[in-house]
Amino acid sequence: MTTDDAGVGGRKGPDGMRPERPGMDAGPRIGKVAVIGAGTMGRGIAQVAAMAGHEAVLCDVDAGQLERALAGIKATLDKGVRLGKVAGAARDEALARLAGTGGLGEAVEGAELVIEAVPEVMALKKKVFAEVEAVAGAGAVLATNTSSLSVTGMGAGLRSPDRFIGLHFFNPVHIMALVEVVRGERTAPATVERSLTFVRGLAKEPIVVTDSPGFASSRLGIVLGLEAIRMVETGVASPADIDKAMVLGYRHPMGPLRLTDLVGLDVRLGIARYLHESLGSDAFRPPALLERMVAEGRLGKKSGRGFYEWDD
Ligand SMILES: NC(=O)c1ccc[n+]([C@@H]2O[C@H](COP(=O)([O-])OP(=O)(O)OC[C@H]3O[C@@H](n4cnc5c(N)ncnc54)[C@H](O)[C@@H]3O)[C@@H](O)[C@H]2O)c1
């Protein structure tokens, strides 16, 4: 996986650089998009929305973070231009459509879609959505980028849970083509349709998932990762050879153990515990080796050592 590509996602638009105009064929067109939280994910989502022709307003309670996010988006697009992946005019137009603010009300006012990307804490997200709902227009779609929390539970306190949905983007947002569109118990079909149109307009590929722990991607990806760890544990093969089996035998772009090192062993352990608890299947029981490695601080790339040694 690389962050060298500053394009707008998996599918190219008609001019080879930008996707089709978004939101033309299902429900009222989504014009302005407000993104709440300007961290890793929020800045990426704002970038692809602006590149796809939306007015995009990024909002964060931390002014320094907001400044870094806007500078980061500009740097990524500049790099895209240098690499010939983004047209100079497309970058300039996208940056002209992008704004930042510390005021949630200002960000949400007039937005047809609000995407929340604040930290993965249910109480914080619910608080943000209560504030968002108080200022959002009646027709606005409200979406969470949560990677694990219940979409149904998060939307339960809203006056209009029918317009609430999960839009699970992947990191780095401008590179990864997949978006999981997560349908909560009370999400209206029209909300799903408008979200699908929006996602396709970003030149990304949506899949529709019924709200359940791990959605589709984490649930399946974690099983593979945990089984690979159990195979290391029982001496079936070395980490490098297990990864090679998936890369060369199944054409995965990267083996499950290398991916575990990149994501962080602690992060994967947390997800495994949560899925084991919520789904009750032994497939998600954290292997003893994973528990031990995390306890020893072998967290993968970020700590310099996981299943592999990392120099930088
Ligand atoms: N990082 C990933 O790889 C990834 C991938 C998919 C989904 N997600 C999900 O996306 C969400 C955000 O993750 P992230 O990695 O971007 O987090 P992050 O910590 O990088 O960014 C969160 C941002 O939210 C801001 N914030 C906190 N409270 C706020 C508030 N009340 N109003 C406005 N801004 C507020 C913080 O200042 C911070 O800038 C989480 O739900 C996470 O699970 C993350």
Amino acid, single-letter form, for residue 60: D
Q: Is 213 in the pocket of ligand 1 (CB under 6 A)?
A: no
* Residue 164 burial (CB count, 10 A): 24
The atom number, within ligand 1, closest to the CA of 125 reads 31
Say if strands 56-59 and 98-101 run parallel, antiparallel, or are unpaired. Answer: parallel
Domain map (residue ranges) of the chain: 33-210, 217-303
Question: Which of helix, strand or coil describes residue 58?
Answer: strand
**Which fold does the domain 217-303 belong to in CATH?**
N-(1-d-carboxylethyl)-l-norvaline Dehydrogenase; domain 2 (1.10.1040)
**C-alpha span between 73 and 6 (Å, rounded):** 9
Q: What is the pLDDT of residue 1?
A: 33
Q: Is 151 in the pocket of ligand 1 (CB under 6 A)?
A: no
Q: What is the pLDDT of residue 10?
A: 42
Q: What is the pLDDT of residue 264?
A: 93
Q: Whose CA is nearest to atom 20 of ligand 1?
A: 39
Provide CB contacts within 8 A for 147, sequence distance 6+: 120, 168, 215, 218
169 membership: H or E segment, kind and range: strand 164-169
Q: Is 65 in the pocket of ligand 1 (CB under 6 A)?
A: yes
Distance of CA 37 from the midpoint of ligand 1 (Å): 6
The atom number, within ligand 1, closest to the CA of 124 reads 31
Q: Going edge to edge, which strands form the sheet with 98-101? A: 98-101, 56-59, 33-36, 113-116, 141-144, 164-169, 178-183, 205-210
User: Which residues lie across from 165 on neighbouring strands?
Assistant: 143
Q: What is the mean pLDDT of each run of 10 residues along the chain (312 residues)?
A: 38 38 54 96 97 98 97 97 97 98 97 96 96 96 94 96 97 95 98 97 98 95 97 98 98 97 94 94 97 98 96 79
Q: What is the pLDDT of residue 29?
A: 79
* Residue 142 burial (CB count, 10 A): 26
The atom number, within ligand 1, closest to the CA of 144 reads 41
Q: Is 120 in the pocket of ligand 1 (CB under 6 A)?
A: yes
Q: Is 171 in the pocket of ligand 1 (CB under 6 A)?
A: yes
Q: What is the pLDDT of residue 4?
A: 35
Q: What is the pLDDT of residue 23?
A: 38
Token pair in block for residue 18: 């930008």
- Taking Cα atoms as reference points, which of 44, 38, 12 lies closest to residue 172? 44
Amino acid, single-letter form, for residue 296: E
Residue keyed to tokens 């991607």: 217
Q: Whose CA is nearest to atom 39 of ligand 1?
A: 39
pTM of the model: 0.88
Q: What is the pLDDT of residue 260?
A: 97
Q: What is the pLDDT of residue 132?
A: 98
Distances (CA, A) of 190 to 27, 140, 186, 195, 205: 7, 12, 12, 8, 18
Distance of CA 76 from the midpoint of ligand 1 (Å): 19
Residue 255 near residue 242, CB atoms below 8 Å: yes
**C-alpha span between 300 and 138 (Å, rounded):** 45
Judge: domain 33-210, CATH 3.40.50.720: yes
**C-alpha span between 202 and 181 (Å, rounded):** 14
**C-alpha span between 305 and 303 (Å, rounded):** 6
